[in-house]
Amino acid sequence: MSLTSTPSLRALLDRPEPVVAPGVFDALSAHLAAQAGFQALYLSGASISYTRLGRPDIGLVGMSEVAETVGLIRGRVDLPLMVDADTGYGNALNVGRTVRTFERAGAAAIQLEDQVLPKRCGHMAGKQLVSTAEMVGKLQAALDARDAADTMIVARTDGIAVEGFEAGLARAEAYLEAGADMLFLEAPQTPEQLRSIGAQFSGRTVLMANMVEGGRTPMMAADRLAELGFGFVIFPGGLIRALVSAGQDYLASLKAHGTTAPFRDRMLDFDALNQVLGLDEVLAAGARYEPGED
């Protein structure tokens, strides 16, 4: 797939159906999502923390680690990629540097949140926020720093959990007025809150919904969320939770039996894995550059 044949994120969002983006964390997970037919991806900061650090999402991941991951994903997959930039890793100047770095690495959209640094997962307790005015300044810095107008700046607020539902709506209004291309009101706790968010903002901007298994927001299918006004739906940690569960089962079986035989029907063999990874295509590409006979 070439970049010219891949619809931009803005083009996807102009379509009537919601954009569903699975959370990815490296080139392999992005490749699997592309093979499954998804048209956009979400680079989850939490999943990078889970996989690269073996730690929960408590603000330990740095900008360079995320930028490197963006580049590796873009080297394998051409799909539009929204990148979780947490707080922007500092003040407004840091935000500008983050946006320029992620955009150059291949981000189609960059998500910024209004927590203090270090942040916490949006579905954890104990979050703290910067002022609305500080976040507006960071969003303005992000908008000024982007090189292409097609690069989307996504404003996330954790105000609902910290300050209450109405305060979260007020923060979102301020971020929309500042010029954000998409709004992400994190962790609404009831279907009624989701409905109210859609009623206030749908038709004025793109709304993003975050589906976290076991999180604070009720789980809903993408088509139901679309009915409420949400145009971009992420499942940021679903893949890693599925892989961890499968990995625990595999390791328990190997420890118990001393062989992979009992687990073999739940695994790819050597050839099947290489087929998924595109070995034949890579070898064919390399063969073009081999010296011919004199």
Give pLDDT, residue 197. 98
* Between 118 and 201, the higher pLDDT residue: 201
Which runs of consecutive H residues, i.e. helices, occur in 146-237? 159-163, 165-177, 191-201, 222-228
In this predicted structure, the answer to whether residue 58 has a pLDDT above a threshold of 60 is yes
Domain ranges across the chain:
3-237, 244-287
Q: Which residues of 27-62 are buried (b: 16+ CB within 10 A; e: fewer)?
A: bebbbbbbeeebbbbbbbbbbbbbbbeeeebebebe
H or E element, residue 257: helix 238-257
Percent helix / strand / coil, the chain, rounded to 5: 50, 15, 35
Tell me the three state secondary structure of residue 197: helix
Tell me the three state secondary structure of residue 293: coil
What is the sign, positive or negative, of the torsion defined by CA atoms of 272, 278, 283, 284? positive
Q: Dihedral angle at the C-alpha atoms of 113, 163, 47, 30, nearest 10 degrees?
A: -50
Q: What is the pLDDT of residues 236-277, one digit of tens each?
A: 999 999 999 999 999 999 999 999 999 999 999 999 999 999
Average pLDDT over residues 13-38: 97
In this predicted structure, the answer to whether residue 294 has a pLDDT above a threshold of 70 is no
Cβ-based burial of 264 (10 A; exposed 0-12, middle 13-18, buried ≥19) = exposed
Average pLDDT over residues 95-123: 94
Q: What is the pLDDT of residues 60-80, one digit of tens each?
A: 999 999 999 999 999 999 999
Give pLDDT, residue 198. 98
% of the chain with per-residue pLDDT over 70? 98
Give pLDDT, residue 293. 65
Give pLDDT, residue 3. 43
In this predicted structure, the answer to whether residue 4 has a pLDDT above a threshold of 50 is no
Give pLDDT, residue 1. 39
Instruction: Spell out the CATH class of 3-237.
Output: alpha beta
C-alpha angle 9/11/12, rounded to 5°?
A: 65
**What's the residue count for the chain?**
294
* Between 148 and 292, the higher pLDDT residue: 148
How far, rounded to the nearest angstrom, does the alpha carbon of residue 158 sit from its chain's CA centroid?
A: 16
Give pLDDT, residue 123. 84
Residue with tokens 């992620």: 102
What is the sign, positive or negative, of the torsion defined by CA atoms of 75, 77, 82, 87? negative
Q: What is the pLDDT of residues 153-189, one digit of tens each?
A: 999 999 999 999 999 999 999 999 999 999 999 999 9
